[in-house]
Amino acid sequence: MARRRYQKGSLVPKTGVPRNGLWVGRWREDVIQPDGTITRPYKWEALGTVQDYPTRKLALRALEARLSTINSPTYRARPAATLAEFANRWDATVLSQHKPSTQSSTRSQLRKWLLKDLDSCALKDLDGQKLQAFVSGCDCNSKTIRNLVATLRMMWNSARAWGYVALDPFNGLVLPKRGLVQALTFSLEETKRIIGSASEPHRTFYSILAETGIRGGEICALRVADLDLENAVIQVRQNVWRGKIQTVKSRKGNRRFPISAQLVEHLRGYLQSWRPNSLGLLFATGNGTPWDHSLVRKRKFHPLLRKLGIRQCGFHAFRHGNATLLDQIGAPMAVRLNRLGHAEAQTTMGYTHAVTVDERRIADELGRILHATARNEQKERPAENALTLMIQ
């Protein structure tokens, strides 16, 4: 129910100007306790300094503006909870509905940063000033700070829907500028050296990454059933995170696109020696579980890069290299977004459909660039099993 009487509140001190130069307002506010009862404790809040409000009348006007929400006919009592208490409820009811990878990263953010500094702060007291102070005092890089604020926004949306808060502390929040991020990529020559120097099954693994630009978790989740070699098409349907299969990163991540005739021929050869597994995965451990791309990177990929004298980086460098090639050969933007599974410009590009002729031309062009000199490079190396050759 709405408040039965109008509150004016009071200033501290009751008379004169505060000696410490800070105007403090006091009023009562209805709070719903965990057992459902409603209490009316005093609420204290700094309204501003004497420089902001030189006279007592001006300070009273600021207090009246602050009480406008409480004195509104639509005012309702709100449940009380600290950020730590709300985080536990939100984790159990909302976060638990997200993918395991999202749950893991979000809980890590809560444990290492958010609850470490804001755990005892009452949710309704987390205003813009306190949030800005947290951002300014956070000892981590700008990308991490932005991720932390994004997590707080998700929690705040639930808090507003559940009646815990009414104000928006993110309005006017100033975030640190994103620093210059050096995106590592492989040149065309480096890509060819990596593929040509790798042994199976990793040569096939790197070949797919180079031509398709799919993510490390996506290639580890590829099944033989996702390869339509008759039509030279590959389907990305799922993702692997810490050895567990889950959905792709986003709606745009579920995609289907052509591959080159050269890669098709290579995959046909690879499948002749492929060992079946219960999940039908293209790359599986001896126990039939998906490859963990982090382990492949550390145990196989990085040693190969050191041997070749190529700077150490992850599989994402294949993705950047692929995007660079797509740009160089003039691939239409719709084709690029579909192949890479990007969600940028989703509203605009959702009405754009890649032309089949363009898709096929791009796949053939990628195959020609990546595989044109593979036979010449193989001649320079000792003869190997024919099934490991990139091009028959």
Q: How many CB atoms lie within 10 A of CB 256?
A: 13
Helix, strand, or coil here: 36? coil
| CB distance 221 to 239 below 8 Å | yes
pLDDT of res. 373 = 59
Q: How many CB atoms lie within 10 A of CB 330?
A: 11
As beta bridge partners, residue 27 has 43
pLDDT of res. 353 = 45
Any domain includes 357 = yes
Distance, CA of 87 to CA of 21 (rounded, Å): 36
Q: How many CB atoms lie within 10 A of CB 318?
A: 26
Cβ-based neighbours of 19, under 8 Å, separated by 6 or more: 13
Last residue of a domain, one of 161, 196, 222: 161
Asked whether residue 243 falls in the same domain as residue 331, the answer is yes
Last residue of a domain, one of 55, 79, 103: 79
pLDDT of res. 72 = 85
User: Hey, what are 148's tokens?
Assistant: 């932390």
Each residue's pLDDT expressed in tens, for the chain with a length of 392 residues: 445 578 889 998 888 889 899 999 999 988 887 777 888 888 888 899 999 999 999 999 999 998 988 888 888 788 888 999 999 999 999 999 999 999 999 999 999 999 998 988 989 889 898 999 999 999 888 989 999 999 999 999 999 999 888 889 999 999 998 765 567 889 999 999 999 999 999 999 999 999 999 999 999 999 999 999 999 999 999 999 988 999 988 878 899 999 999 999 999 999 999 999 999 999 999 999 999 999 999 999 999 999 999 999 999 999 888 888 888 888 888 888 889 888 765 432 333 445 567 778 888 888 888 887 555 555 555 544 443 434 34
Last residue of a domain, one of 145, 161, 177: 161
pLDDT of res. 348 = 29
Asked whether residue 280 falls in the same domain as residue 362, the answer is yes
Any domain includes 378 = yes
Asked whether residue 73 falls in the same domain as residue 88, the answer is no
Strand spans (E) along 74-189: 78-79
Task: Please return the burial class of 41, using the count of CB atoms within 10 Å of its CB with bins 0-12, 13-18 and 19+.
Answer: exposed
Asked whether residue 345 falls in the same domain as residue 237, the answer is yes
pLDDT of res. 212 = 95
pLDDT of res. 350 = 34
pLDDT of res. 324 = 85
Any domain includes 176 = no
| CB distance 254 to 235 below 8 Å | no
pLDDT of res. 286 = 93
Asked whether residue 23 falls in the same domain as residue 48, the answer is yes
Any domain includes 282 = yes
Residue 87 is part of which domain span?
A: 83-161
| CB distance 25 to 11 below 8 Å | yes
pLDDT of res. 344 = 64
User: Hey, what are 233's tokens?
Assistant: 């098409």
Asked whether residue 216 falls in the same domain as residue 361, the answer is yes
| CB distance 218 to 248 below 8 Å | yes
Asked whether residue 118 falls in the same domain as residue 257, the answer is no
Distance, CA of 202 to CA of 38 (rounded, Å): 64
Asked whether residue 95 falls in the same domain as residue 238, the answer is no
Element (DSSP H or E) covering residue 31: strand 31-32
The tally of domains found in the chain comes to 3
| CB distance 140 to 113 below 8 Å | yes
